[in-house]
Amino acid sequence: MSDADWPVELRGVTESVVTTLGPNGLWNAAALGLHAGASAPVTARTWGNTRTRRNFHRQGGGVVQFTRDPVDFAEAALSIREDEEPVLDSADAWVEVEAEQIGAGETDGTRWEEWELTPVESRVRERRVPLTDRGFAAVVEATVAASRLGVDGFDDADLRSRLDYFEEVARTCGGERERAAFDRIREFVEW
């Protein structure tokens, strides 16, 4: 299958939430950056010994979802979120994927694995007019910065400065859900 089978147009690094079935029978939600090129297959990297990595090995895939809910995204990115169902209520579209490991390595002391994601089946719940929301973008960037705190190869002082900036943007330019997402980020991460 080609990336034309994805329910949305992917370009560059598209942020998503992936759910993978764990050994406890629950679906673990995590943030996952999808790397897409013009002719290359869609790939993603897992960093460290995460539930997503272990579940990809165990199950061979998961459900990639596209949501614009900043709280769902922040919880998936920074906490252990497990649900009985594979699809988030906030997902506008999702695709069941097969995940095949195609590479592995280590960067600054952190092991990573690269996965080729092949669509199996996809659904679009609802088509909405896309918005460019600086508050939501700030939540996404904050989860990236927060996930790198304490990781060799990243400067914690710089990351904390970024987190302060992103919080100001989210609280100024975002709505109620973006502010609630930052409240959750503050619960998960100290800076």
Does residue 129 belong to any structural domain of this protein?
Answer: no
Does residue 89 belong to any structural domain of this protein?
Answer: yes
Helix axes 134-148, 70-78, angle to 10 degrees: 10
- Residue 158's SS3 state is helix
Q: Are residues 37 and 95 in the same domain?
A: yes
- Residue 128's SS3 state is coil
What would the pLDDT profile of 69-106 be if each residue is shown by its tens digit?
999 999 999 999 999 999 999 999 999 999 999 999 99
What would the pLDDT profile of 24-82 be if each residue is shown by its tens digit?
999 999 999 999 977 779 999 999 999 999 999 999 999 999 999 999 999 999 999 99
Q: Are residues 180 and 147 in the same domain?
A: yes
The last residue of a domain, from among 81, 102, 124: 124
Say how far apart CA 63 and CA 60 lie, in whole Å: 11
Domain of 160?
Answer: 134-188
pTM, rounded to two decimals: 0.84
Q: Are residues 111 and 171 in the same domain?
A: no
Say how far apart CA 51 and CA 57 lie, in whole Å: 10
Q: Are residues 111 and 142 in the same domain?
A: no
Helix axes 70-78, 176-188, angle to 10 degrees: 10
Q: Are residues 114 and 143 in the same domain?
A: no
Phi-psi region of 61 (alpha: psi -120 to 50; beta: other; left: phi over 0): left
Whether 61 and 98 have beta carbons less than 8 Å apart is answered as: yes
